[in-house]
């Protein structure tokens, strides 16, 4: 028997020595909350509260002011060069004073790791944001690019659009395709390994800044 056959045979033997309880998948009790009835404004407010609790920087703006807000954030940061995934909306970086480098999905169009290590920051969008936990989820689609982009630079500026905020984990997962490369980000890189106190700043970006874009028509 090869290892695969043997492990499967062992499981069968274990089950026959001690028959497991009969609990069909459909009968699993799911009494927990799947959706919420919070308004979009309330969700945005909760998201901001959670992000700030984990020491992310937060800015709010209207859709019209997005480019200006991105430009201000980078200027405040003093960023000279930033990288963006090449699918990022070009209007977002229209007002940026820093030099903007594009990173593509095909290998020829990608920056090397040391090039990424040399830029001052990265700008991306996100796929979904979870209000309850203060989590941004990136799925590698055009506004987010490949995973290293948001890992190597020390500063990550992430834009959250109004319809991307959901209340909790179940709603977020329902919007995602599992087989895409996914990264869930809740605050800047941190550790609890020294006396179990949370300290920001280990290997990932030490500064996370989030721009929450308001609904059309709201201020």
Partner 1 sequence: MLGMPTIPPTSPRGVGNLRGEDRFPVAARRTLADTQLRRNLGKATTTIRSKRAQVVAELPDWEELREAGRQLKVHTMAHLPGYLAQLESAVIAQGGVVHWARDANEANEIVLDLVRDKGVDEVVKVKSMATQEIGLNEALEAAGIAALETDLAELIVQLGHDKPSHILVPAIHRNRAEIREIFLREMADVDPALTDEPAALAGAARQHLRRKFLSAKVAISGANFAIAETGTLAVVESEGNGRMCLTLPDTLITIMGIEKLVPRWQDLEVFLQLLPRSSTGERMNPYTSMWTGVTRGDGPQEFHLILLDNGRTAVLADAEGRDALNCIRCSACLNVCPVYERTGGHAYGSVYPGPIGAILSPQLTGIEDNASLPYASSLCGACYDVCPVKINIPEILVHLRAKHTETYAADHRLPSAEASAMNAAAWVMSNPKRWTYALRSGRLGRILGRKRDVIGGVPLPLVKQWTDARDLARPPTQTFRDWWAAEHGGER
Indicate the helix (H) or strand (E) that contains 124: strand 121-124
Nearest to 134 by CA among 176, 187, 183, 172: 187
Residue 42 Cβ, how far from partner 1 at the closest point, in Å? Answer: 16
- Residue 42 sits in the site that holds partner 1 (CB under 8 A): no
Residue 57 Cβ, how far from partner 1 at the closest point, in Å? Answer: 15
**Which range touches partner 1 (CB under 8 A), out of 25-33, 64-72, 87-95, 159-167?**
25-33
Are residues 67 and 100 in contact, defined by beta-carbon separation less than 8 angstroms? no
Residue 10 Cβ, how far from partner 1 at the closest point, in Å? Answer: 4
Nearer to partner 1, 95 or 146 (CB): 146
- Given 87, 95, 162, 201, the residue binding partner 1 (CB under 8 A): 201
Site for partner 1 in 129-188 (CB under 8 A): 130, 132-135, 140, 146-148, 151-152, 168-170, 173-174, 178-188
Nearer to partner 1, 73 or 116 (CB): 116
Residue 139 Cβ, how far from partner 1 at the closest point, in Å? Answer: 9
Site for partner 1 in 54-93 (CB under 8 A): 54
Nearer to partner 1, 192 or 219 (CB): 192
What is the rounded CA–CA span in Å between residue 92 and residue 96?
8
Are residues 156 and 150 in contact, defined by beta-carbon separation less than 8 angstroms? yes
What is the rounded CA–CA span in Å between residue 65 and residue 69?
6
| Bridge-based pairing state of the strands 207-213 and 165-166 | unpaired
- Given 37, 106, 217, 219, the residue binding partner 1 (CB under 8 A): 106
What strand order describes the sheet that includes 128-130? Answer: 135-138, 128-130, 165-166
Residue 89 Cβ, how far from partner 1 at the closest point, in Å? Answer: 20
Burial classification of residue 2, based on how many CB atoms lie within 10 Å of its CB (0-12 exposed, 13-18 middle, 19 or more buried)? exposed
């Amino acid at each position: 028997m090869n290892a695969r056959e043997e492990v499967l045979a062992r499981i069968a033997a274990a089950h026959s020595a001690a028959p497991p309880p009969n609990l069909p998948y459909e009968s699993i009790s799911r009494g927990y909350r799947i959706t919420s009835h919070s308004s979009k404004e309330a969700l945005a407010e909760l998201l901001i509260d959670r992000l700030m609790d984990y020491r992310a920087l937060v800015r709010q703006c209207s859709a019209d002011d997005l480019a200006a807000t991105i430009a201000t954030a980078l200027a405040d940061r003093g960023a000279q060069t930033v990288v963006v995934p090449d699918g990022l909306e070009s209007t977002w970086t229209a007002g940026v004073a820093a030099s903007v480098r594009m990173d593509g999905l095909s290998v020829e169009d990608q920056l090397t790791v040391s090039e990424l290590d040399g830029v001052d920051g990265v700008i991306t969008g996100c796929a979904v944001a979870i209000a309850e936990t203060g989590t941004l989820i990136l799925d590698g689609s055009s506004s987010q690019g490949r995973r290293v982009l948001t890992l190597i630079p020390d500063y990550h500026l992430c834009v959250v659009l109004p319809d991307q905020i959901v209340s909790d984990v179940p709603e977020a997962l329902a919007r995602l395709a599992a087989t895409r490369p996914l990264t869930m980000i809740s605050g800047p890189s941190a550790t609890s390994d020294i006396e179990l106190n949370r300290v920001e700043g280990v290997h990932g970006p030490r500064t996370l800044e989030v721009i929450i874009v308001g609904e059309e028509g709201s201020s």
